[in-house]
Amino acid sequence: MKIKSRKLGINLEGCERAVLLGVTLGTGVDLLLRRYALTDMARVVVLQACAAAMLEEYLDDWQEDLRMEQKKEGYYLRPRFSPGYGDFSVEHQKEFLRMLDASKRIGLSVTDGHMLTPSKSVTAVIGLGRYSVSCHQSGCRECEKADCAYRR
């Protein structure tokens, strides 16, 4: 797989390994959001925010477990970096999912517009290097997409 992304290159500089991941909260969240979409948009907004927070919290916990596991082997983690961050094109979603066999394993797929489905899903790459690098854990500080709805 060839990826043209200066920002991802900076994030992975000096890494010997990389972890590719795909995670989803599943179709139940999308069904719940659709259920209220016509009758209670305020509830939909709150549910969207809660689901996004739940997914991020899960990923943070999982990444911390990975950090501790890899530290025993002498590796340090870089922040997870997802298609859509900076100049890392969302067009890579399809190849990520193919490599992970995500459709079969967890029901995660990609639309023709390169968006993940179910909607509350993430793909990412985490670099593993032999030395610790001082870097921001929050991708928003490094991302140049100022108009992103998820910007913190």
- CA 127 and chain centroid, separation: 13
Whole-number Å distance between alpha carbons of 148 and 90: 14
* CATH architecture for segment(s) 6-26+55-142: 3-Layer(aba) Sandwich (3.40)
How do 76-77 and 15-24 pair as beta strands? unpaired
**Tokens standing for 135?**
């870097």
Q: Please give the average per-residue pLDDT across 36-60, as a whole number.
A: 97
Q: Are 79 and 133 in contact (CB under 8 A)?
A: no
What number of residues does the chain have? 152
User: Judging by beta carbons within 10 Å of its beta carbon (0-12, 13-18, 19+), is residue 84 exposed, middle or buried?
Assistant: buried
User: What is the DSSP annotation of 71-101?
Assistant: HHTT-EEPPPB-TTSTT--GGGHHHHHHHHT
Reply yes or no on whether the pLDDT at 149 is more than 60.
no
Q: What angle do CA 95, 101, 104 make, to 5 degrees?
A: 130
Q: Report pLDDT digits (tens) over 97-126.
A: 999 999 999 999 999 999 999 999 999 999
Reply yes or no on whether the pLDDT at 16 is more than 60.
yes
Q: Kindly list the domain boundaries of the chain, sorted by start residue.
A: 6-26+55-142
Reply yes or no on whether the pLDDT at 145 is more than 90.
no
Whole-number Å distance between alpha carbons of 97 and 15: 22
pLDDT of 116: 97
Reply yes or no on whether the pLDDT at 25 is more than 90.
yes
Reply yes or no on whether the pLDDT at 71 is more than 50.
yes
Instruction: Report the predicted TM-score, pTM, of the whole model to 2 decimal places.
Output: 0.84
